[in-house]
Amino acid sequence: MTLDYHPVGPHIARDIEDERKIKTYAASLVPHFADPENPFIHHIIKHTESRALEGPVRDAETRDYFTEIVEELSDGVNYFVWWVQEIDRRADGQDHGEERMAVLAAMVKLYEAWEAVQIAGAAARR
C-alpha cells in the first residue's frame, strides 16, 4: 500500500545506509552498546526502520523536530504510567515489586531523554 500525501514543505530522499551509520554511532556512545556486533543495536535499527514510512522525509527543512520528539517522549511516558497502573491492578495482593520497579526504571530513562532533548533544543536555538 502506498500512502498518498502532499508535502507542505521541502522533503529529502532517505539515505538508509546513512541513517544506519548514525544510529550505530549513537549506540556506540553508550558504553555497554559499544560493540557494533551487539544484537541490541541490530534489533533497534531494524525496529526503527520498520516504523519509518517509505519514501522521502516530508517537510524535512521545515519540520519542528524538537516538538516531534517531545511529543513522542510524552507518549512513551503515558504508556509507562498505564503499564504501572496495569501492574498495580493485576497485583491483587501479590508482590509485583520487581516488575514495577523495572518499568519505573525504564520510565526514568525517558525523563533523562526529555532532559537531553531540552539541551539539544536549546543548542539548536542558539
pLDDT of residue 107: 95
Res 43 pLDDT > 70: yes
pLDDT of residue 1 exceeding 80, the answer is no
Write down the mean pLDDT value for the chain: 85
For 110, half-sphere exposure in the C-beta direction (CA atoms, 13 angstrom radius) is 18
E-assigned strands of 16-111?
none
pLDDT of residue 9: 58
**What pTM was estimated for this model as a whole?**
0.76
Joined grid coordinates for residue 9: 514543505
Q: Residues of 83-102 as b/e, b for ≥16 C-beta within 10 angstroms?
A: bbeebeeeeeeeeeeeeeee
Alpha carbon separation from 45 to 57, 93, 113 (Å, rounded): 17, 39, 18
Q: Of 16, 8, 6, nearest to 54 (Cα)?
A: 16
CA distance 109 to 119: 15
